[in-house]
Structures are given as structure tokens and as C-alpha cells.
Amino acid sequence: MNWEVVIGLEIHTQLSTKSKLFSGAAVGFGAEPNTQTTLVDLGMPGALPVLNKEALRMAVMFGHAINAEIGMHSVFARKNYFYPDLPKGYQTSQMDHPIVGKGYLDVMLDDGSTSRIGITRAHLEEDAGKSLHEDFQGMTGIDLNRSSTPLLEIVSEPDIRSAKEAVAYVKMIHSIVTYLGICDGNMAEGSMRCDINLSLRPKGQEEYGTRTEIKNVNSFRFIEKAIYTEIERQADILEDGGRIIQETRLYDPDKNETRSMRSKEDANDYRYFPCPDLLPIELTQEYVDQIKANLPELPNQKAARFQEEYKLSEYDAGVLSASRAMADYFEQANESVKDAKLTANWVMGELSKLLNQEQLEITQSPVNAKAFGELLSRVQDNTINGKTAKDVLQAMWNDEGSADEIIEAKGLKQVTDTGAIEAMIQEILDANATQVEQYRSADPDKQKKMIGFFVGQVMKASQGKANPGIVNPILAKMLKG
């Protein structure tokens, strides 16, 4: 059977506020257990929540970025269930009236096509704490540092039809929230976690199949692999005439499989009701408009500007603008180079290669944008050629100094003195008389192929320092005789 996969994603994005959603406690990763808590996060009797206005502002920013209706009247609701790391016995979330309503994103795929993914809603909610099962001799330790950390849960429509599309969508969300500066985007620390709702249906069928939900997948790669694995599992069951059980599953990256966590029958009745400790949030049009007016440039806007301002191709502009850090690096480096195509090629090429080799983010690059720009300026002004520049970059990477210092110390400056080049060429022509003869008797097409040999000899003789731009015309002229 030819199956079509139907995917909807729920992305939990941790907002990068200084303090928690409902208390003044600091938000941070890796602090000693229970040191970043207040009465509110501990769920002490009589403690009351007070909404962090910064989280609200961030949610509205996101709403604008996905072309969404902003909830002018939104309501916090309690989601009731018992768990040791849920101190109040309920999670304060939003149900009927979320802060961000319907919106959408246009997501570009690798093949250059674009698909529009609907976003049902995005709502504010508080995170729970953590249960620690190791080191407590059969007991469970509770760390409430994460309790009440602000999350924006972004719920997509079931519009996604492939693993690739899912990853492109998550990357786009990642890109937007980091552009907006509302999330640090650090997936390894759990700043973005993804729940995948997935079902299969025979191609052409309108009705959805029974879905499963894969909880808490926290990397782009795992999202892709989890989807492939789950498609395969569901397809196997359906092909064998079985039926899919609606349930929550966990993805195990070590075994690359999903396994059942709990079925719908065990699902909690969360008994949602409006939180009586928090008044409904009423926004003014002025507030919403002001946030819109102050929105930073978004990825697609930046890509358009890169095409317009720097004359970059759609592809290059798309790659460079996908992350705000890379776009900023590119623009800062190009400030001194003033050759956008050259800078773009080097950022996307050599720099990205080195970063990938060492699994570094661009923000962790040992060569900063300004230093990188200086290096490219030396390529631009013909002080060194591209091949040499790669060596200089490697030396800069190893902290051997600035581009100019390394060029100077290693004597890598290109030879641009035409007299010296002429002399060098003459020596080569003299030493290769036979080849010169063959060249001179060949037709122009053949000559074009043969000239490479002489260029190679010049480069070899100059140890790569001869400027090809100067060598080529002189060589052509002297070969003519």
C-alpha cells in the first residue's frame, strides 16, 4: 500500500526571560538543585503566581512573526495532575484562550520548493521540575529549579507530510525564535523540545488514521529519525492488517526505536479550568502594535534583503539567513571585504567546513567575523590567493595570529611584480622548450587546454605566491613569442 504520513508538531520553546513565568526566581541551566526557587515555584501553601510581563511580550512577538491572530483576551488555565516534580499538583497553562491564535509559516525545503504549515496556536505555560532517579537509593530526588520556567508551546496543524518537511519546519521555528531573541535555541539543554503526532493513511484517503504521539524529541536529527522509525513501525502494523493504538511513545535514540509510554486509556483527565489566581490578560491594540513595530528583522526578510542588497542568489541568501548568528557573522565579515559573493562563499564553504569538523556553532568559532573579514580582504586585494588563504585560515584557527601577521611571518604574499614574474616565466619556457614548440603549433582550442601546464609550473616555481591574475596574461603573451 502507498501510505501518506500526516504529522503535527508541538514544540515547547523555553523563553529566555531572566526570571520565571510566575515568580521572581532566576532561570538558568545547571545550578545546584532547588537553589533557583521561590515560594511560588515550590508550591508553598498561600503562595500566589504573578505573571512575568516579559514572557507575555515574547509570546506576542512570536505571534507577529508567524502572521498570527494575537489573543487580545487570553486566560490561564490549570491542568491538574499529580506528579512529584509538579509542586502545585497542576500546571498553569492556557486552554480555551491562548495568547497566540491561528498563524502559519512558509517553509522552504531542500529542493527549493515552499510549503505552508498552519499553526493552530501558541500558548504560555510553566515547566515542571525534574525527578532525579539516580543516587537516591530507591528514592526519587526532586529538583524544582526548572519549575515555573516559561514555555511557549507552539502547536502546528497536521499539515506536515514528511520527515524532511517536519525538520525544515522545526528549523524555521528555531530560526525565528532565535532571531526574535526569545529563546536561546539550545536544544541539548532542552530549550526546544518537540512532541510529534503522527499517523498514516492510504494515499488519497481524506480521513486521518489513528495517531501516536512521540514525546520530548530534542534534536533535529532525532526528529527526523524518530519520524522514519515511527512511519516504518506503523506501516508494518497496517500492512499486516493490524491497527494502531492511540498512545504516547518515547523515542530511544540509542536503539533508534519508539516504545509505548502510556495508552489513551491511562491518559489523565486534566480537569482544565480557568486559574482563579490569575486574572485574564487583556491586551490593548497599542501594546500589540508597538511590539509589531519593534520586531527585529526576521529570517525571510533578511534573506530578501541579502538578495537585494548583496545580490546574493536565493539559495545563498537562504542559507546565510537561516541562523541569525551566521547572518550576523556574514555581514560583519563583509564590512571590510565589501565583496558579498566572496564572503558568502567563504562563510558557507571553508568556515562552515571547519566548524562542522569540530562540531562548533558559529558563535564558538575561534576566528571571529572581523578577523575573518580581514583575511578575505587580503584575498580581495590580491595579497594572497584563495589556496593560500585556506592555509592562513587554518593558522588563524590554531591561534597563530591575525591574517596579516601570518602572511608576513610565513612570507605568503603573492608576487605581483611583473618584472619578476616575466623572469620566472622566461626560465620556465626555456626549461620546457619542447612543450613551448607543441603549444605554438597547436590550434587555439588545444592551446587553451595546454596553458594549464604552464600555469602550474609558474605556481610551483613561485610556491603558490604568483598572482594568477597577473601571470595569465603575461604567460599568454610570452607563449605567443
The residues that touch other proteins, with contacts defined as CB under 8 A, are: 39, 42-51, 78, 80, 82, 84, 87-90, 140, 142, 269, 271-273, 276-279
Sign of CA dihedral 337, 339, 344, 345: negative
The rounded distance, in Å, linking the Cα atoms of 50 and 279 is: 10
Closest CB to other proteins among 132 and 278? 278
Closest CB to other proteins among 80 and 432? 80
Q: Output the smallest distance, CB 147 to other proteins, in A.
A: 11
Closest CB to other proteins among 97 and 174? 97
Neighbours of 442 (CB within 10 A): 13
Q: Output the smallest distance, CB 36 to other proteins, in A.
A: 16
Q: Output the smallest distance, CB 74 to other proteins, in A.
A: 14
Q: Output the smallest distance, CB 264 to other proteins, in A.
A: 12
Q: Output the smallest distance, CB 198 to other proteins, in A.
A: 24
Contact call for residues 365 and 355 (beta carbons, < 8 A) = yes
Contact call for residues 292 and 286 (beta carbons, < 8 A) = no
Closest CB to other proteins among 50 and 423? 50
Closest CB to other proteins among 46 and 481? 46
Residue 95 phi/psi, 5-degree rounding, is -125, -80
Closest CB to other proteins among 137 and 434? 137
Question: Got the DSSP string for 444-455?
Answer: HHHHHHHHHHHH
The rounded distance, in Å, linking the Cα atoms of 219 and 236 is: 25
Closest CB to other proteins among 80 and 472? 80
For the chain, the distance separating the N- and C-terminal CA atoms, rounded to the nearest angstrom, is: 72
Q: Output the smallest distance, CB 56 to other proteins, in A.
A: 13
Neighbours of 396 (CB within 10 A): 21
Q: Output the smallest distance, CB 117 to other proteins, in A.
A: 29
Q: Output the smallest distance, CB 272 to other proteins, in A.
A: 8
Alpha helices in 29-143 (DSSP H): 53-65
Q: Closest Cα to residue 292, out of 62, 14, 53, 4?
A: 62
Contact call for residues 6 and 230 (beta carbons, < 8 A) = no
Q: Closest Cα to residue 178, out of 371, 20, 361?
A: 361
Q: How far is CA 474 from CA 63, 296, 406, 429, 431, in A?
A: 61, 51, 29, 12, 17
Closest CB to other proteins among 41 and 230? 41
Which of helix, strand or coil describes residue 456?
A: helix
